[in-house]
Chains A and B, each alone.
Chain A
Amino acid sequence: MNLILQTLADGLVLGGIYALAAVGFSLIFGVMQVINLSHGVIVVIGAYLALILSRLLAVDPLLTIPLVMAALFVFGYAYQRWLVQLAVERSSLLASMLLTFGVALMLRNILVWIFSPDFKTISPPYAFVHFHLGELTFDLVRVSALATSLVLLCLLAAALHWTRFGRIVRATAQQNLAARLCGVDARHVYALTFGVSAAFAGASGIAIGMVLPFAPPDEAFWTLNAFVVVTLGGVGSPAGALVGGLLLGIVNTLTAQYVGPAFPNATMFLILVLMLLVRPSGLLGNAFSPSR
């Protein structure tokens, strides 16, 4: 019984991190229908920025979240406005996919150039602390990463639901033409959305860097992971990312425990295929689809 509970608890903690890592990808896909293949590299850049800032300022890596998010927001805004948007306007959505893939390759190699291919870790003072709840063991750094993830996802959900910015994003995603007729600058909104997504990807990079050793080549994994989470949970909403992420985390740990530690990836892709066949829009559907 304890083993099942421990496995479920481990799955939830892992899933929370997966969810935060995927929410930016989900938002961009939901609002712009752009598949951002450079999502993973932004996650990894977030981890590197946190590593540098936490050492430079001698603060807890979680305290660098505002700075990392601000820097990546600016990066994401500029990237969308002056690169992705041009590709979409002048060619097609497919071109944006190729563009983001190319950017991911370039950024990955720039990271290798700057930081070397060696793996790095972010180790806050509590990196190796654990605590017990009953007979269950929890790793403090993973739990803090989960807590960070939940707080940020709730803030994003609140911002999308209750703020003017959120209303504009939702309106633009649901009916681009109508939104523009109402005076919304769609390009600006797209760039803002991309900026917010990049900021959240960066924040997830901090959580991931605290939990896992990271290196530039890891970016491909986080893009793929985001894709699976979004397919499972549904597009465009933090809730979808959370459901997809938690589900993926639990499936991962349950498979590892009861089928074999070599099989989580196989199960993950099996579920992905089944979801695409049975419910292609994900468990919670497309958050912006009703008005299309």
Chain B
Amino acid sequence: MHRRDVIRGLSAGLVAGGIAAPFVSRAAAQSGKTLVFGGSVPLSGAAAETGLNVNNGYITAVDYLNEHGGVEIGGEKYQLKLSLFDDASDPSRAVTLIQRQLDEGTQFFLGSFGSNIVLPTAAVVERAGKLMVQTGGGSDQIFTKGYKNIFGMYPRASRQTRSTPEFFKGLKPEPRSISVVLTNDAFSKTSAQGMVNDCKAAGFEVLGTYELPEKVTDVSSVLAAIRAKTPDILACVTHDQDSLLIARQMIATGTNVKLLLQELGPQLASYRESLGKYAEGICVHTYWEPDAPFKGKFFPTAAKFAEYYHSKFTRPITYHVAGAAACIVTYILAMQDAKSTEPAKVRDALAKADYETFYGRIKFTPDGDGDPLLMGPSMAQVQKGKLELVFPENARTAPTIYPVPPWDKKA
């Protein structure tokens, strides 16, 4: 054999191998019955702190189900596999990553974290006729564009605070006024608008609505305005880092209200550690706690889920971890109902879903967001450094502290 023939043969082999490789690997995956979940998560960039929690939730569910022999769908056993990439909290990068996975044939997607990322990626997945179940985006815009294939574990933002006025009304002495602080992003704006509308409808006086830029470095002007016109309740529909900044500046400037509610932030152990005893009494909406009385298939209870999570990760657990794992559990339950992994059939099963799980009852509205009554948030309050459920009554683990003592009394 001549050297030229050897080179030719090798080249042909390499080219054929290169072209065939994706098909070979896909065929191998299918013969091994592997279900692949694609998507992106923010493991770096501004949303990385919660992004890491979401990612850990996905890993927890997949590892648990695989360790228990995989899942049975339509009489066949499947192992689960994650194909997630770091989108660096960048929506355009996330779209590129999702498009690449669509081109490679991924059928089932999990969500990133943050409405600003979920919104464009959901559009791409919907257009391709594939599915997405996500726990990272609550903005109304995700659920009001007529998408049929996008499902979210939260009610849309404007409905998330629907039960909040009822909580306020249960406080003694009953508060009369509220001010709302929000940041200029898709989630905060719609959620804050919902909060304002709900509170006005319930008869509360809204003293002020303060919109901050997306990147906040100082809230002294807003706090000066709040000190000049102090509401009973201050609600901050802001993200983790901004919530902490607001709380720290409130303490440092002696800006007191009877109750501080922050939509995101206090659910993180790092937030509570940073404020120490000053965190006492701050309220936060939460969608899940490890001691919640939820039971379901796969993870038998919320506590068992938390126990398994802690056996794998040292990072404190948050509701985002559980929500992410619930996305995968919901997918599998829908596939089992559909007895198929065909996207159209799974989509129909998801639309009809009504499942009891470790995360609570899962049922979507016709627009794909979580049912506001079944999947809406509970109210938690920081008490002795940990979160206690204070509303609704039937889930309460501790009475609400109200009015919360002024900051200098907590020192």
User: Which A residues form the contact surface with B (CB < 8 A)?
Assistant: 3, 6-7, 10, 13-14, 108-109, 112, 116-121, 123, 127-130, 137, 139-142, 212-213, 215-217, 221, 252-253, 256-257, 260-265
Contacts and interface: CB of A to CB of B under 8 A. Distances in A.
Contact of A253 (B210, B215, B220, B228): B220
A108 B411 CA distance: 35
B245 interface: yes
Interface in B260-282: 268, 270, 274, 276, 278
A181 B46 CA distance: 49
Contacts of B51: 117
Contacts of B411: 128
B167 to A, nearest CB: 26
A130 B252 contact: yes
Contact of A139 (B240, B249, B278): B249
A117 B49 contact: yes
A10 B211 contact: no
Contacts, number: 115
B184 interface: yes
A217 B44 contact: yes
Interface of B: 43-46, 48-49, 51-52, 89, 184, 210-213, 215, 217-222, 224-225, 227-228, 240-241, 244-245, 248-249, 251-254, 268, 270, 274, 276, 278, 407, 411
Contact of A128 (B218, B245, B270, B407): B407
Contacts of A265: 213, 215
Contacts of A123: 274, 276
B221 A7 contact: yes
A14 B218 contact: yes
A257 B274 contact: no
A264 B213 contact: yes
A262 B211 contact: yes
Contact of A6 (B213, B224, B254): B224
B44 to A, nearest CB: 5
Given A128-B251, A128-B407, A212-B245, A121 B222 contact: no
Contact of A119 (B49, B184, B222): B49
B179 to A, nearest CB: 12
A212 B274 contact: no
Nearest to B252: A139
Contacts of A112: 43-44, 48
Given A127-B252, A212-B245, A117 B213 contact: no
Contacts of B253: 130, 137, 139
Contacts of A263: 213
A6 B212 CA distance: 19
B220 A119 contact: no
Q: Name the residue in A120, A141, A261 with the highest tally of chain B Cβ atoms < 10 Å from its Cβ.
A: A261
Contacts of A7: 220-221, 224
Contact of B221 (A10, A120, A216): A10
Q: Name the residue in A120, A256, A260 with the highest tally of chain B Cβ atoms < 10 Å from its Cβ.
A: A256
Nearest to A123: B274
28 contacts: A6-B224, A7-B221, A7-B224, A14-B217, A14-B220, A109-B44, A117-B43, A118-B268, A119-B270, A121-B248, A121-B274, A123-B274, A128-B278, A128-B407, A130-B254, A139-B249, A140-B252, A141-B252, A212-B245, A215-B241, A217-B46, A217-B48, A252-B218, A253-B220, A257-B224, A261-B210, A261-B211, A261-B221
